[in-house]
């Protein structure tokens, strides 16, 4: 009985760091999506990591890339946050987005913390659509 309790507590303690980080991480993603909905590319660009900001250079170029490459992020109908996990030293937030045509998309957001705030370092569109997620 004691070993089962210890195993349960150990699993919980391993999950605590991810649980504690989920709210700030999802808050950054939500803020960026809200900025896109308002066509506020300056605010959306502010949530990008320094590496992403260097790649695109300006909020306008960044916004154009999102409009063309990630239309479901630019104009989502519904956003749901799924699991937050650590993989190979990186923090990844899985997000399920339903677009305006009712199609469901799964995306992984790579999050980094270059200073005191979380930033979005990459967004990976996963193959296929979510089924009944």
| Phi, psi values for residue 120, rounded to 5° | -90, 120
pLDDT score of 20 more than 70:
no
Helix (H/G/I), strand (E/B), else coil: 2: helix
Stated as kind and residue range, the H or E segment containing 89 is none
pLDDT, greater one: 46 or 128: 46
* Rounded-to-integer distance, Cα 102 and Cα 89, Å: 34
| 111-133 pLDDT, tens digit each | 999 999 999 999 999 976 544 44
Q: What is the pLDDT of residue 89?
A: 80
Among 8, 133, 15, CA closest to 84: 15
Count CB-CB contacts under 10 A for residue 57: 10
Q: What is the pLDDT of residue 21?
A: 64
pLDDT score of 15 more than 70:
no
- DSSP class of residue 56 equals H
Q: What is the pLDDT of residue 82?
A: 97
Question: Rg for the chain (alpha carbons), in Å?
Answer: 17
- DSSP class of residue 126 equals P
| 49-106 pLDDT, tens digit each | 999 999 999 999 999 999 999 999 999 999 999 999 998 888 999 999 999 999 999 9
**Number of separate helices (H) and strands (E) present in the chain:** 5, 4
- DSSP class of residue 17 equals H
* Rounded-to-integer distance, Cα 39 and Cα 20, Å: 30
Tell me, yes or no, if the pTM score tops 0.85: no
7-11, 36-40, 77-81, 96-100: range with lowest mean pLDDT: 7-11
């Amino acid at each position: 009985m004691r070993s089962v309790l210890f195993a349960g507590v150990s699993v919980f303690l391993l999950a605590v760091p991810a649980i504690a980080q989920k709210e700030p991480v999802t808050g950054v993603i939500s803020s960026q999506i809200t900025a896109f909905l308002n066509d506020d590319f300056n605010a959306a660009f502010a949530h990008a990591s320094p590496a992403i900001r260097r790649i695109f250079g300006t909020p306008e170029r960044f916004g154009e890339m999102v409009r063309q490459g990630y239309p479901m992020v630019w104009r989502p109908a519904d956003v749901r946050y799924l699991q937050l996990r650590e993989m190979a030293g990186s923090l990844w937030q899985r997000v399920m987005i339903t677009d305006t045509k009712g199609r469901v998309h799964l995306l992984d957001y790579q999050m980094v913390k270059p200073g005191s705030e979380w930033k979005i370092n990459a967004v990976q569109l996963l193959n296929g659509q979510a089924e009944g997620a």
